[in-house]
Amino acid sequence: MKKAIIIGAGPAGLTAAYYLLKETDIKPVIIEKDNVVGGLSRTVNFEGNRMDIGSHRFFTKNDEVAALWEKLLSPQGAPALDDKLLGRHVELVQGGADPEQCDAVFLNRQRISRIFYLRHFFAYPVSFGWETIKNLGLSRMAGICFSYLQAVLRKRQENNLEDFMINRFGRRLYETFFEKYTEKVWGRHPRDIGADWGSQRIKGVSISKVLSDFLQRALRIKRQESEASLIEKFRYPKYGPGQLWERMRDEVLAMGGEIRMGCEAVELLPGTSGDLAGVVYECGNGRERLEADYVISSMPVSQLLHTLSGYGVPDEVQAIGDKLPYRDFMTAGLLVDRLEIDNQTHHKTLGNIVPDCWIYIQEPDVRLGRLQIFNNWSPYLVENHRSKVWLGLEYFCQQGDEMWQMQDEDFLAFAVRELENIGIIRHNCVEKGCVVRMEKAYPAYFGSYKDFGKVREYLDTIPNLYCIGRNGQHRYNNMDHSMLTAIEAVRVIKSGSQDKRALWQVNTEENYHEMRQKG
């Protein structure tokens, strides 16, 4: 039996193993350096309170991915706990599971996320609603409108992310909501980030679409079925995204696959005809070697190139890989008694807390990037949802910087001070907390990324090596796109083709994944 070594047990790696077992007679062996599956899409359990690392909504335009999700977790067929208590209407699927009786179920959730800026809430995505006009003031709004008209009449050549955003929003709106926040997230000014990031993450979004959406809502105009509109609903596993990947792990094992946890790939062994012969991995009891007919890698490209040291990586390719930029990520989980901000929306919530799943913190006087309110993702994430609020404070950083090196207790104290400083909590309401660090969470589009094509071309010359997933392709993919790269890899292997272009074409379509096509 042929064998495929898969590096990484995140969404891409697990999907590759599942499809190899489903569609071929190749045995997959997954090597995962961590002790949990799911990668960035894992769920962390802190004393009964579950934390989503980075916010993972389940939506996709791909029917095959949607069908696989529903095979692993049932659709919602009865009201969830908060739906019942609040008398809230929710779309249900006939024959679906009851979240009060079944754990393996998707909840249908409403997308509510806002921007917190100038100590006020603003709609996200940015809209020209009455709340925005009131909070910004007429003078700022007039400047934003005039600036947008200038951008419409005189388009800039899109050499960087700043150009990309100004073309779509105008300079004043860009400076108000995007410039400083982007710098907070990436540690770089938008003019130093490639326009590719915009085409990956904010395709199809512009003031014209925002205005159209606002006017149609305000005037109660029925939107055409062919129009794209901002996604307002999504699915979410009862116990967080990690629940789905744990289910897929169990499926892979039940079908005959193998997963070796706590093991890190350190060397890819060259074969006799330009291919790879196997993988050397390291775990607690030393180094071991595994023969391989295929190697499927979701590990960061910068690390992958170093595992190919015996293969003779060209100096130029190695230099580009060594300088590929990443953004690391820290989350402070805080269990609190209450929030100091009021729910002034029409959305009903348990305890009448603000209804947001997450909030973009654009205040320039704090380093906090996003605030998760896990009660609103799923009441089942919080051990005592009736009297406690479970928060995730998200920080973007670099390994080795001041934040990354803080002791956990110091980082928690720092996070509490920041949240208190902007008026969201008082320090004496915090009961306990935890800290989670994620390395290389976000592949970045600046620095040597401009030459990434040379790295890709080189990797594609290795006939039985397939690069998949967010880090495996150094691309800011969502879960469904990472899964699709794995599916494409399996089908290329199955076909016997050497053409790997299909793997790299996932998530390059024109329609942004935050948009849906109706009809």
DSSP string for 268-307 = EEE-SSSSEEEEEEEETTEEEEEE-SEEEE-S-HHHHHHH
pLDDT score of 477: 87
pLDDT of residue 394 exceeding 60, the answer is: yes
State the alpha helices, DSSP H only, in 154-267.
161-169, 171-173, 179-186, 196-201, 207-218, 242-254
* pLDDT (tens digit per residue) in 135-190: 888 888 888 888 988 988 889 999 999 999 999 889 998 998 889 999 999 999 99
Closest CA to 281 of 271, 291, 273: 291
Neighbour tally for 466: CB within 10 Å:
26
* pLDDT (tens digit per residue) in 459-507: 999 999 999 999 999 998 889 999 999 999 999 999 999 899 999 999 7
> Is the overall model pTM greater than 0.85, yes or no?
yes
* pLDDT (tens digit per residue) in 415-470: 999 999 999 999 899 999 999 999 999 999 889 999 999 999 999 999 999 999 99
Mean pLDDT check: name the lowest of 123-132, 189-198, 278-287, 483-492: 123-132
pLDDT score of 512: 36
pLDDT of residue 369 exceeding 50, the answer is: yes
Q: What is the mean pLDDT of the chain?
A: 90
* pLDDT (tens digit per residue) in 179-214: 999 999 999 999 998 887 776 666 555 555 555 554
Please, which pLDDT band fits residue 265 given cuts at 50, 70 and 90? very high
Residue 250 DSSP one-character state: H
Residue that is written with structure tokens 């600046």 in the block: 446
pLDDT score of 202: 63
Please, which pLDDT band fits residue 132 given cuts at 50, 70 and 90? confident
